[in-house]
Homo-oligomer: A and B are copies of this chain.
Amino acid sequence: MGSLADISERAGVSIATASRVLNGSKHPVSAAMRERVLNAAAELGYAPSFAARALVTGRTPIVGVIVGDIVDPYFAHIARGVEHVAGRLGYLTMLSSAHRSTEAEIRHLRALRATQARGVIFASSGYTDDPHRQELQQAVDEARESGARVLTLAHRELDCPSVTFDSRAAAYDITDYVVSLGHRRIAFVDGPKGLFTSLERCAGYEAAMAAAGLDPLRFEGGFEYEAGYDAAQHIAAAGPLPDAIIGVNDDVAIGIVMGLRSAGIEVPERVSVAGINDTRPAAYTGLTTVSAPLYELGLTAARIVLAEKGADEPSDKVLPHQLVPRSTTRRAN
């Protein structure tokens, strides 16, 4: 397959020299030697072995990303951001989807540590109350001790540096916006129980409602389309219709829109609906939402994890979000 030994033989130099020219060591090498090595390498199609290199340097040019669910566009946007900078810096991105399971997160974390990845970006669910929580933290600590840079993304439930945006404020802002449209009965379809994101967003919603002197109206939900759909069906069938419904994320909000419409309730004519995140499907469907800096989150996280100097760790960084009014909300009449 072409090893340094092959090259050194072909070029008639020592392995050390070959190694030195091939990765621009500070150790000087004459132009003649250099060229011979380069030629030999080109002819042999040399590719250094990550394994051998990792064995001696202790690190591989890999950055791991652990996400909750790769099919969820929320994570896909983040992953894209990470990939972008990792690629430019010559790193490989190892994406693992934990399928919303803390145990899977731990497994992936351990595996990533075994690969001696340069760093891992932990963009997963963020359970605040989980039997495996402690074990997770331990896995994180182990990874960090072994030299990997670990960063939590979009939640802060672990004891390690993080990059986030203010989910609570985002929920507050969208609620506030809906209030400003003149709606009074505003419901909130929550995410899975015990998840950092759900908690924060629900809190933001409730705070905004309280600030407006309104009573909160919370419904159980989830993070997926179906949860919103079901909740909407339930809401439509139950008591008096709210003026507006806010979903814990875009998928849920879209589910709400569809659920409402399938029950014969026009959106936004009779009920306004809004989401949070501004993922791609939100654009599809004209959903009013709050733009979460997902891609930028990935960018930033990767930059921090892959930074040359581990010195200036900002430790905790918060990125801004932005309101995106579209067509699923309208002024109350």
Residue ranges of A at the interface with B (Cβ–Cβ < 8 Å): 1, 45, 47-55, 60, 62, 70-71, 73, 76-77, 79-80, 83, 87, 92-97, 104, 107-108, 110-116, 142, 145-146, 225, 251, 254-255, 258, 280-281, 283-286
Tell me whether B104 and A96 are in contact (CB under 8 A). no
**Cβ distance A70 to chain B, nearest Cβ, rounded Å:** 5
Bound-state CA distance A225–B281 (Å) is 9
Tell me whether B50 and A116 are in contact (CB under 8 A). yes
Tell me whether A94 and B92 are in contact (CB under 8 A). yes
Q: Which residues of B contact A70 (CB under 8 A)?
A: 70, 76, 79-80, 83, 95
Report which of B47, B55, B255, B280 forms a contact with A51, defined as CB distance below 8 A: B55
Tell me whether A258 and B281 are in contact (CB under 8 A). no
Tell me whether A280 and B225 are in contact (CB under 8 A). yes
A contact patch SS: helix
Report which of B54, B93, B254 forms a contact with A284, defined as CB distance below 8 A: B254
Q: Which residues of B contact A281 (CB under 8 A)?
A: 281, 284
Tell me whether B94 and A94 are in contact (CB under 8 A). yes
Q: Which residues of B contact A284 (CB under 8 A)?
A: 225, 251, 254-255, 258, 281, 284-285
Tell me whether A93 and B92 are in contact (CB under 8 A). no
Bound-state CA distance A76–B255 (Å) is 20
Q: Given A114-B47, A284-B254, is A71 in contact with B60 using a C-beta cutoff of 8 Å?
A: no
Q: Name the residue on B nearest A52 (C-beta).
A: B55
Bound-state CA distance A1–B59 (Å) is 13
Tell me whether A49 and B225 are in contact (CB under 8 A). no
Could you list 7 A-B pairs, sorted by A, with CB under 8 Å? A50-B114, A50-B116, A62-B115, A71-B77, A83-B96, A92-B94, A284-B284
Q: Which residues of B contact A280 (CB under 8 A)?
A: 71, 225
Tell me whether B116 and A97 are in contact (CB under 8 A). no
Tell me whether B93 and A96 are in contact (CB under 8 A). yes
Q: Which residues of B contact A112 (CB under 8 A)?
A: 92
Q: Given A55-B52, A55-B55, A255-B284, is A94 in contact with B95 using a C-beta cutoff of 8 Å?
A: yes
Bound-state CA distance A281–B287 (Å) is 13
Q: Given A280-B225, A281-B281, A285-B258, is A51 in contact with B116 using a C-beta cutoff of 8 Å?
A: yes
Bound-state CA distance A64–B79 (Å) is 16
Give the 8 A-B residue pairs with the shortest CB-CB distance, closest first.
Answer: A95-B95, A51-B54, A51-B51, A71-B76, A51-B55, A94-B94, A47-B114, A50-B115
Bound-state CA distance A268–B292 (Å) is 33
